[in-house]
Amino acid sequence: MRKKALKVAFMVLVTLLSGIAIFTIVVFNRPELIPPGPYHPRALLSELLGYHVHPWVRIDPTKQYTLKVWSTRWPIFQDGYGYDDLIEEVIEDFQKIYPNVSVEYVLLPLGEIEEAIEKAVDNSTPPNICMAPFDPSLVESGLVVPINMFICDKPRKDIRATPATDFELSSLGFVSLANRIWAWPSWMAVKCWAGNAEVLREAGIDVERVMLYGWTYEDILSMVDALRIRQAGVEEQYRTYGLVLDTTSTNTLDTLMEAAGRGLVLSPDGSLMWQGDTLKSSLSFLQRIRLEKGFPEPAHMMSERMLELFWTGRAAVIGPVGPGFLRHVRERHEKMSGNHLAGGAEAVEPILLPVPHPVGGTSSACVTLNAAVVFTCPGTSGADTAYLAVRLAEALARKEALWLAGELSVVPARYEDRPHTFSLTPVPDGATRRFLAEAVASGRMFRNLSSATKEKERFLREHVISPMMTEFWQGTISPDEFDRRLSAVTSLSGFE
The per-residue pLDDT for range 98-138, each reduced to its tens digit, is: 999 999 999 999 889 999 999 999 999 999 999 999 999 99
Q: Residue 14: inside a domain, yes or no?
A: no
Cα–Cα–Cα angle for 310, 432, 228, nearest 5°? Answer: 35
Residues 438 and 479 in one domain: no
- Between the alpha carbon of residue 409 and those of residues 85, 160, 188, 405, 436, the distances in Å are 21, 31, 9, 6, 8
Residues 93 and 223 in one domain: no
Residues 422 and 456 in one domain: no
Q: State residue 186's pLDDT score.
A: 97
Residues 213 and 74 in one domain: no
Q: Residue 72: inside a domain, yes or no?
A: yes
Q: State residue 73's pLDDT score.
A: 92
Contact between 174 and 449 under an 8 Å Cβ cutoff? The reply is no
Residues 280 and 309 in one domain: yes
- Alpha helix (H) residue ranges in 183-314: 197-202, 207-213, 217-230, 251-259, 276-291, 306-311
Nearest to 73 by CA among 107, 106, 117, 113: 107
Q: Residue 24: inside a domain, yes or no?
A: no
Gap between the Cα atoms of 379 and 142, Å rounded: 13
Gap between the Cα atoms of 148 and 146, Å rounded: 6
Three-state SS at 248? coil
Q: State residue 21's pLDDT score.
A: 47
Domain that holds residue 286: 192-363+448-495
Contact between 57 and 34 under an 8 Å Cβ cutoff? The reply is no
Gap between the Cα atoms of 367 and 447, Å rounded: 10
Residues 59 and 111 in one domain: yes
Give the number of other Cβ atoms within 10 Å of residue 317's Cβ. 24
State the angle between helix axes of 276-291 and 251-259 in degrees (0 to 180), rounded to the nearest 10.
Answer: 120
Gap between the Cα atoms of 46 and 59, Å rounded: 17
List the pLDDT tens digit at each of the 496 positions of the chain: 566 555 555 554 545 444 444 444 544 455 554 656 676 777 787 888 889 999 989 999 999 999 999 999 998 887 788 999 999 999 999 999 999 999 999 999 988 999 999 999 999 999 999 999 999 999 999 999 999 999 988 766 667 889 999 999 999 999 999 999 999 999 999 999 999 999 999 999 999 999 989 999 999 999 999 999 998 888 888 899 999 999 999 999 999 999 999 999 999 888 999 999 999 999 999 999 999 999 999 999 999 999 999 999 999 999 999 998 888 877 777 776 665 555 445 668 889 999 999 998 777 899 999 999 999 976 555 899 999 999 999 999 999 999 998 888 899 999 998 876 655 444 445 788 889 999 999 999 999 999 999 999 999 999 999 999 999 999 999 999 999 999 998 876 555 5
Q: Residue 25: inside a domain, yes or no?
A: no
Gap between the Cα atoms of 366 and 192, Å rounded: 8
Gap between the Cα atoms of 434 and 431, Å rounded: 5
Gap between the Cα atoms of 247 and 137, Å rounded: 28
Q: State residue 36's pLDDT score.
A: 64
Three-state SS at 365? coil
Contact between 365 and 191 under an 8 Å Cβ cutoff? The reply is yes
Q: What is the pTM of this model?
A: 0.89
Q: State residue 294's pLDDT score.
A: 94
Residues 182 and 207 in one domain: no
Residue 464 per-residue DSSP state: I
- Between the alpha carbon of residue 446 and those of residues 13, 352, 368, the distances in Å are 57, 21, 8
Nearest to 478 by CA among 245, 303, 242, 286: 286
Residues 321 and 469 in one domain: yes
Residues 174 and 201 in one domain: no
Gap between the Cα atoms of 318 and 193, Å rounded: 6
Cα–Cα–Cα angle for 373, 413, 258, nearest 5°? Answer: 85
Contact between 466 and 249 under an 8 Å Cβ cutoff? The reply is yes
Gap between the Cα atoms of 206 and 228, Å rounded: 18
Residues 355 and 372 in one domain: no
* Bond before 426 cis per omega within 30 degrees: yes
Domain C-terminal end among 420, 442, 464: 442
Domain C-terminal end among 442, 467, 484: 442
Q: Residue 35: inside a domain, yes or no?
A: no
Contact between 188 and 178 under an 8 Å Cβ cutoff? The reply is no
Q: Residue 98: inside a domain, yes or no?
A: yes
Q: State residue 337's pLDDT score.
A: 66
Q: What is the CATH number of the domain that holds 250?
A: 3.40.190.10
Cα Rg, the chain, nearest whole Å = 27
Residues 223 and 339 in one domain: yes
Residues in contact with 301: Cβ distance below 8 Å, sequence separation at least 6, in sequence order: 247
Q: Residue 258: inside a domain, yes or no?
A: yes
177-182 CB contacts, 8 Å cutoff, 24+ apart: 177/136, 177/139, 177/449, 180/139, 180/146, 180/148, 181/146, 181/147, 181/148, 181/151, 182/134, 182/136, 182/139, 182/144, 182/145, 182/146, 182/147, 182/373
Q: State residue 342's pLDDT score.
A: 52
Contact between 392 and 94 under an 8 Å Cβ cutoff? The reply is yes
Residues in contact with 16: Cβ distance below 8 Å, sequence separation at least 6, in sequence order: none
> How many domains is the chain built from?
2
Q: State residue 464's pLDDT score.
A: 96
Q: Residue 259: inside a domain, yes or no?
A: yes
Domain C-terminal end among 417, 442, 467: 442
Residues 138 and 269 in one domain: no
Three-state SS at 324? coil
Q: State residue 20's pLDDT score.
A: 44
Contact between 282 and 256 under an 8 Å Cβ cutoff? The reply is yes
Contact between 231 and 296 under an 8 Å Cβ cutoff? The reply is no
Contact between 190 and 200 under an 8 Å Cβ cutoff? The reply is no
